[in-house]
Amino acid sequence: MKLLVCISKTPDTTAKIAFNGDNTKLETAGITFIMNPYDEWYALVKAIEIQEKWGGSVSVLHVGPSENDSIIRKALAIGATDAYRIDTEAVSADQVAFQMASFIQQHAFDIIFTGKETIDYNGAEVGGRMAAQLNLPFISFASHLDIVAENEAVVKRDMEGGTETIQVNTPFVISAAKGMAEQRIPNMKGIMTAKSKPLNVVTPQKYSPKISIVSHELPPAKKAVQYIDPENMAELARLLREEAKVI
């Protein structure tokens, strides 16, 4: 099977968030960037598991400048076969989806994976936009994926208070949530071979993004916690009703 995993770059989960002077861009000094965890832990590892069982290849696709190559190399070290980097800054979900889908249209992939969302803009839009442009089925928030035949999969999808089990034929687009696979740490052999795996640079298509960032702000500071005597839960109940007005 020819599998494709779309990966993006995000600030580390524990990063302290601040913005530049006019609040339009993230202040990147002191921030460690990582591969978006949903892309890495669930989408990429699941694709590698399928390739290990069914053969074929796992390609990774990324939109970003060459300074992001270290993230792509990590995906190769974890076990991807080869990589493609579309050489332009990622500015919006619609732009990233357009660039990726335009690349995918020139190739034939059986399954196109994304993470369920990125941990920076938390939009969950790229998968659906790509599926629409490619005119393929899109299954979101998949927690299980079983290949049952060469061109057929059974997928479990998370939804409010439960799961749905879906049968789908390849090709399709899928977004991966927790449960799909277990995180893999690259080993020394993987890191060494990653250096010689192909990382192809792709020229971007012309495109004008459909949204623009006006400004960022930090949420208002929280008031200091009010401690309640553990022996006086009547007081907490009263505060929840009269002060917080939530019960």
Partner 1 sequence: MVLVFVETENGKVRKAALEAVYYGYLTAQKLGTSCQALLLGNAEDATSLGLYGATLVHQNDSISFNFFDNQVYSAAIAQAAKKLEASVVILSHSSNGKSLIGNVAYLLDAGSVSAAIDIPETDKGFSVRKGVYSSKALVNIEINTTVKVVSVLGNSLQISVVGANVEVQPITLDVLQPGIKVLSVDKLQSNVTPLPEAERVVSGGRGLKGPENWGIVEELADVLHATTACSRPVSDADWRPHHEHVGQTGIAIRPNLYIAIGISGAIQHLAGVNNSKTIVVINKDPEAPFFKSANYGVVGDLFDIVPKLTAAIKNLNA
Part of the chain binding partner 1 (CB under 8 A), chosen from 53-61, 73-81, 151-159, 199-207: 151-159
Dmax (CA) for the chain in angstroms is 68
Q: Kindly state whether residue 225 participates in binding partner 1, applying the rule CB under 8 A.
A: yes
180 is a contact residue toward partner 1 (CB under 8 A): no
Q: Which is nearer to partner 1, 36 or 199 (CB)?
A: 36
The values of phi and psi at residue 74, to 5°, are -65, -40
Stretch that binds partner 1, among 60-68, 78-86, 198-206, 232-240 (CB under 8 A): 232-240
Taking a C-beta distance cutoff of 8 angstroms, is the pair 140, 121 a contact?
Answer: no
For the stretch 162-168, contacts whose Cβ atoms lie closer than 8 Å and that sit 24 or more positions apart, written own/partner, are: 166/139, 168/137, 168/139
Give every CB contact of residue 134 below 8 A, 6+ residues apart in sequence.
101, 104, 105, 112, 171, 173
In the list 91, 147, 191, 239, the residue contacting partner 1 (rule: CB under 8 A) is 239
Shorter beta-carbon distance to partner 1: residue 52 or 146: 146
Q: Is 182 in the site for partner 1 (CB under 8 A)?
A: no
User: Exposed, middle or buried, 224 (CB in 10 Å: 0-12/13-18/19+)?
Assistant: exposed
Burial 47-67 (b: 16+ CB within 10 A, else e): bbbbbeeeebebbbbbbbeee
Binding span for partner 1 by CB under 8 A among 15-23, 44-52, 56-64, 103-111 = 15-23
- How many Å apart are CA 101 and CA 106, to the nearest integer? 9
The residue within the footprint of partner 1, chosen from 106, 196, 203, 226 (CB under 8 A), is 226
Binding-site member from 47, 72, 141, 176 for partner 1 (CB under 8 A): 141
9 binds partner 1 (CB under 8 A): no
181: nearest Cα among 151, 137, 146: 146
The neighbour count for residue 203, using CB atoms within 10 Å, is 7
Using rule CB under 8 A, residue 13 touches partner 1: yes
Site for partner 1 contains 56 (CB under 8 A): no
Amino acid at 200: N
Q: What is the distance between the alpha carbons of residues 35 and 121, in angstroms, rounded to a whole number?
A: 14
Nearer to partner 1, 30 or 162 (CB): 162
240 binds partner 1 (CB under 8 A): yes
Nearest approach in angstroms of CB 189 to partner 1 is 28
Establish if 22 lies at the interface with partner 1 (CB under 8 A): no
Using CB under 8 A as the binding rule, the residues of this chain from 156 to 175 that contact partner 1 are: 157-168, 172
Please report how close the Cβ of residue 201 comes to partner 1 at its closest, in angstroms: 26
Q: Pick out residues in 75-134 that bind partner 1 (CB under 8 A).
A: 93-94, 97, 117, 119-133
